[in-house]
Amino acid sequence: MKGIILAGGTGTRLLPLTALTSKQLLPVYDRPMIFYPLNTLIRASVKDILIIVSPGHSGNFLNLLGSMFRKFGVNLSFIVQKSPRGLAEAYILAEDFLDGESSTLVLGDNIFEDDFTEAIRTFEKGGRIFAKEVSDPERFGVVEFDENHEVISIEEKPIAPRSQFAIPGIYIFDKDVVERAKTLTPSERGELEITDLQRYYLSKHMLDVRLIEGAWFDTGTFESLFEASVFAREKKLGDRSHPMINEAIREFNAEYKGIVSLKK
């Protein structure tokens, strides 16, 4: 199992905050946002992680993360997405990195309270996605269940959602997802939709959908970014992160303070 964090895009909904840095490097309480999806993968023992970044902010990611986790046996790779063409493009960009292995893709602006370790470690074949009941499903991909809780449809940001169950930004797929992503045609929005991949696996009876119970934040708006920060503070999400994450942050802080002291 390999990990992908999609941290590209322009973050225009968060201007002027994103005028100088990536959305995924904005603070969520006591740490940059990127550490939350990193934690999701690292605590599931995913050791090889590709971070897909935008051209304008690639240096910021390298300056922060660089070799931060190398001593822990976690290998971070970076690739630039020149222009965002949809979530499914992540698999095409990651083809060489994945090298025929399954992957867990986490959106860099999604923060979860739930622990996905079991769901990631037990994955074998096909696709596995998640669903969360929300009040505004029209903002997301939407999954519809029948009375037996079997999935009967998946839609991308529908005007009239068939259910209240949104699909959060964490997706687990087998090695075939790369070739399948290459066959996609852009939607009316001009993007390669990840819901098209999900529908393909559903049509082959190879899609597993699990409900998540804990809080989920898609921090693409000012309000959701603020709510995520408040939640992280109140629930002490940082303290509940994998010890490796917190140790790496402490070491980075100590080293940075040392460099600043020398400059003085």
Domain 2-263 in this protein, CATH class: alpha beta
Mean pLDDT of the region 76-99: 94
**pLDDT band, residue 140 (cuts 50/70/90):** very high
- Pairwise CA distance, residues 65 & 137, whole Å: 33
Are the beta carbons of 85 and 191 closer than 8 angstroms?
Answer: yes
The confidence score (pLDDT) of residue 9 equals 81
223-239: pLDDT as tens digits: 999 999 999 999 999 99
Q: Say what the pLDDT of residue 264 is.
A: 57
Please indicate, yes or no, whether the overall pTM of this predicted structure exceeds 0.85.
yes
Model pLDDT, residue 259? 63
CA dist 245 and 53 (Å) reads 20
Which pLDDT score is estimated for 261?
55
Q: What is the pLDDT of residues 51-86, one digit of tens each?
A: 999 988 899 999 999 889 999 999 999 999 988 889
DSSP letter at 74?
P
SS3 135: coil
Residues 25-52: tens digit of each pLDDT = 999 999 999 999 999 999 999 999 999 9
